[in-house]
A and B are shown apart, each in its own frame.
Chain A
Amino acid sequence: MNNTKKPGPRAILLLGCPEVPVQTSLAIYLTDLLEKRGAQVVIAGNNAALELVRTSDPAGHYIRDTADLDGTIGALAQKHDDADVCYVFIHNDAGVSYLATASALVSGESVGIIFGKDAQALAQECDDLGLKHIWAKAVHNPRPLKSKVRSEVERWAALTK
């Protein structure tokens, strides 16, 4: 009998610029939901975005693995890395570019999590490009997106069964 445990699905979270307050809490919330579904989660971002995440979870209860954003894109582009699902945090036009890039590089699904004051326009832009996403106009309070994030993880987890 083979007792080797199969590793769970791999999830990559690509964080955007951390200037919108809800990003850090949503990233930790999403990580917790994904890990409870058995996923191995890597959070990628620039230095400031990652330091906010690490500072919010000093004992490492939720965050297991972090990675540099540019390095992660490079690893995906060179096929040194891949993911079963990639969530891209979006609150500006650059975020849409990152989602389009992730969609082209990741063999699994790529889904945008859109927030901030321009959320509706960015969601429309993603629709026009055929990019999957969830969105809410959340800036300081993550509540409008929490249930959508939970539903999204449930949807994805159902697909992986």
Chain B
Amino acid sequence: MGCIDEMKYEVLLSKVTFKQCASYLRSNYKELYIVPPGYHMFDVFIIGVPPIYVGVDGENIIFPYTKPCHGTFVLRINSQEEIEKLKKTASKVK
């Protein structure tokens, strides 16, 4: 699993509140999971207010990424490895 900065990622939402991020993920993805705070993905530990939603779209994983100075981003990264891990360890919502 790589460092996010070194991976090809797409920013879907930028500098939003966590509530906006959760609402976006819940509304836009047919395949959705809940992960606990501190869930390890790529090289980061997910920060957020439960329930923390993570979406899957084909071979892409869509997740919140929170930075202290910039708020929350929603990132999309192609990673079959992370999707498989998510399916094994997270709670499926839909």
Contact = CB atoms under 8 A, between A and B. Distances in A.
Contacts of A120: none
A140 to B, nearest CB: 19
A3 B22 CA distance: 53
Chain B interface, >50% SS class: loop
Given A73-B45, A100-B48, A101-B47, A93 B38 contact: no
A73 B38 contact: yes
Chain A contact residues: over half helix, strand or loop, or mixed?
helix
B69 interface: yes
A107 interface: no
A106 B18 CA distance: 21
A101 B64 CA distance: 13
Given A49-B68, A73-B45, A100-B37, 11 more contacts: A69-B68, A70-B44, A73-B47, A74-B38, A74-B40, A76-B38, A93-B19, A93-B72, A94-B66, A98-B68, A104-B38
8 contacts: A73-B45, A73-B47, A76-B38, A92-B71, A93-B71, A94-B18, A94-B47, A94-B67
Interface of A: 15-17, 19, 45-46, 49, 69-70, 73-74, 76-78, 92-98, 100-101, 104-105, 129
